[in-house]
Chains A and B, each alone.
Chain A
Amino acid sequence: MALEQKPGDLQADPLVALEGAEDLPAIELTDPLWRIRLRLLWRNFKKNWGLFAENKIGLVGLFIIGVFALMAIAHPVLMATVWGGDNTEIYDPVIGYDAVVKEFIVVEVVTDPLSEIELIDARFTNINAQVGDIISQPQQPAPPSSKHLLGTDPLGRDVLSQLMFSTRAAFFLGMVAALVTVFIATTVGSMAAFFRGFVDSFLMRLADLILLMPLIPILIVIGGFWTIELWQLGVIIGVLNGFGGVAIVLRSQALAVSVKPFVDAARVAGGSKWHLIFRHVIPNVLPLSFLYMMFGVTEAISLEAVLSFFGLLNVDMSWGLMISVAQAEGYLLRGLDVWWLLFPAGMAVSVLAAAFFLVGRAMDEVVNPRLRQR
C-alpha cells in the first residue's frame, strides 16, 4: 500500500487542516445552546434570502404582497381619520351610502349610462316619466371623483373603501387555508411515506378520491346547505387540499427522505418512530411544504372570489362580493362603461393571487437547487 502513513497523529492530516480553514464565524461554546441555534437559523435565513433575492420575480411578488398588506393596514387607519367621524356613513365599506343627485335624460335605449336613463327605470322615480324628459335622481354607481377615488358601487358605497377593507379578508382566508393545508399535508404525507403499507394505501386512496371531487361544485353545494363563514371556507380548502393533491406531492418527497441512511442512523441511535418522523422526515419535507403553502394562498383567494360571486359565503365584504353586487345589479356586461365596479376587485384578486404564486415560484428555486439558473 503506497498510501500507508503512520497511524495516529490525525491532527497532522493535511487534508483536515486544509478543509477546516473555511472561515466561519467562530462560535463560542460559552453561549447557551438556544442562542447558537438562533444564530444558525439567522445565518441560514440570510443565505436563503440571498438565493431568493437573486430572483427578481420573487421580489416583485413580495412587493405586491407588501402593497396589499399596506392597504389592509391603512383601511382601519383611514376609517379612524379621513373617512372617520361624520364621514363614516359615507365611507363605511358595508353600510356607507353616498350618491350625488344628477339629472338624466329619459331614453328608450341607453347608450351612455352616465347621462341617460331607461324609461322603465325612470318610472321607479316618477311614474309619469316619458321619453325625452329630464329627471333628477341619485347617481349610483357614480364614476370616480375626488370624493370617491374609485367611484361608488350600485348601492352608493365607496369602492376604494370596499377594496381596501376586503384585503384583510383575503389575507385572513389565504393564511387559514395555507396553514391548514400545510399542517395536514405535511403530517399525512410524512406518515404515509414513513409507515407505508396500509396507512399509505389508505391515505393515498383518500387523496385520489379528493382529487376526483370537483372542488367548486362541492363548495357550492355545501354553501347551499349551510352558511359558510370565511374561516370555515379556509378550513375546508385546507382540509381538501391537505388530504388531497398536496399530500401526494409531499408524500413523494417524504418517501425519498425516509429511505435515506440518516433515518436508519437515527433508528440505530435509538430514536422512536415519532422522533424519526418529526426530527428527520418532516424537517426535510418542510421547505416543499412552504412552497405549497404559497400556492395554497393563491388557490384560496381565487376560490373565495368564486364563492362570493355566487353569494354563497357569509362575508361582509370581499372582492368576489363586489363583483357579485355589480352582477346582481346588472352591470356585469356593461364592460368598460362602469369599469370601476369590476376592474379594481377583479384586478385585486388576480394580482394578489399572482403575487403569492410568484413568491412560490421564487421559493421553488431556493428549495429545488436544480431549478436555479446558474
Chain B
Amino acid sequence: MTTEAHVEVKNLEKRYPVQKSVFRSAKDFIHAVDGVNFSIAPGESLGLVGESGCGKTTTGRMLVKLLEATSGQVLLKTDGEVVDIANITDKDDLKSFRSDVQMIFQDPFESMNPRRTVYDTIAEPLTVQRIGTVPERETKVAELLNLVGLTPAESFMFRFPHELSGGQRQRVAIARALIVDPTFVVADEPTSMLDVSIRISVMDLMLKLAERLDVSYLYITHDLAVARYMCDRIAVMYLGKIVELAPTEDLLANPMHPYTKALLSAVPVPDPSYKRPPVEIKGGISKSINPQPRCRFYDRCPMAREDICGPQDHPPLEEKAPDHWVACYLVDKQSA
C-alpha cells in the first residue's frame, strides 16, 4: 500500500506540555494525538471521525504544517517523490508544499479576513507565492468562482465577506484552497457551521471538485452522516488514537470496535417511534494528560475485561477483517 499512498502518516504524535514555566520544564503532557497511522490513496477521501477533543483537528493541522508534530512522520508523495513534510524548511520547497497541500477551515465566518475582498482572499495563495500576473490572477479567480458556483463571478469578486452568506463564504474558502491546484486538501469540518439546507450543496460541490481535479481529501468531521456522504474510508478516533479504520460502508454496516458501535447507535434516526437502545458506554471522555498505559477506551468500554485489557498497553491497530482495521484485543480476527 505504501507505494501507491498519496499521503502516509506514521506514528504521528502531538503532545502539549501542561503548566510549563520558565523555571520548571513540564512534567505533564496532554497527548492530543498519540501515535496515529493511516494512509490516503491518490484521489481518495478519508474521513476522520470522533468526538470533540479527540485530536482530529490537531492531526489535520499537522498535515498542513500549521503545527509541528512532536514525533512521527507525514510522508507526502509529490511529483513521484516521497518527502517527509517535517523536512520541508527550504523556502522553495515550502512554496511548492503550500501549493500541493491546502486546507478548508471549519468556520466560514472567521476564516475570511473581513477587510479583504473575495478576490483578495481567493487570490492570496497566488499573491503570496508570486504566481502569475495580476490579469492572470483575475482570470483564474473568476474561473474558480464559476467552478464553485458563485456566478456571475464579476459580481462576487469584489464583495466583502460580510456581504456573503455562510454557504457562499464556504464556497469562497473552497475556491481559495483550490486555486493553487492542490493534490491534497485537509477539510476541517467544512460543513459543520452551515445550515443543513446549504450543507448538501457544499458537500456535492466538494465531491464534484474532487472528481474533476483529482484531489485527495482528509475530511475531518464529527458527523457520521457527512462522513458517509463524502468519504471512501472512515477512521474513527478516540483520545488521540485511531480505534477503527475501514471502508465507509463496511464500517457502518459492520462496526467492530465498541466505541464505533456506540457512536453509530447515537446517530439520530428519523423515526419518532424508534426506541433508542440504552447507551452502552459509561462515563464521559477522560483526559488525555499522561494516559495510563492501557487501552484508552478501557474506562468506558462495556466489553472491557480486566484479565485481557487490564495489563496490556493500548491495542495496536490490526487488520481484523480484509481492509478493516481495529484496535481492540477483544475483537476476533475474521477471515472472509
Contact = CB atoms under 8 A, between A and B. Distances in A.
Given A15-B167, A269-B125, A5 B201 contact: yes
Nearest to B123: A269
Contacts, number: 124
B111 interface: yes
Interface string B62-73: 001010000000
A5 B200 CA distance: 8
B211 to A, nearest CB: 10
Nearest to B159: A24
Contact of B103 (A10, A268, A284): A268
Given A29-B157, A33-B138, A283-B113, A261 B106 contact: yes
Contacts of B30: none
Contact of B98 (A13, A16, A268): A268
A265 B105 contact: yes
A107 B269 CA distance: 105
Contacts of A272: 128
A27 B197 contact: no
Contacts of A13: 149, 201
A269 B121 CA distance: 10
Interface string B52-81: 000000000100101000000000000000
Interface string A357-369: 0000000000000
B154 A269 contact: no
Contact of B66 (A2, A11, A36, A267): A267
Interface in B91-143: 94-95, 98-99, 101-103, 105-107, 110-117, 121, 124-125, 128-129, 134, 138, 142
Nearest to A23: B155
B117 A40 contact: yes
B111 A15 contact: no
A29 B142 contact: yes
Contacts of B201: 5, 10, 13, 15-16
Interface in A16-47: 16, 19-20, 22, 24, 26-29, 33, 36, 40
A260 B121 CA distance: 14
A8 interface: yes
B149 A270 contact: no
* Most interface-central of A26, A28, A262 (chain B CB within 10 A): A262
B154 A16 contact: no
B124 A33 contact: no
11 contacts: A7-B204, A10-B148, A10-B205, A15-B198, A16-B149, A20-B156, A36-B158, A261-B107, A264-B66, A268-B66, A283-B115
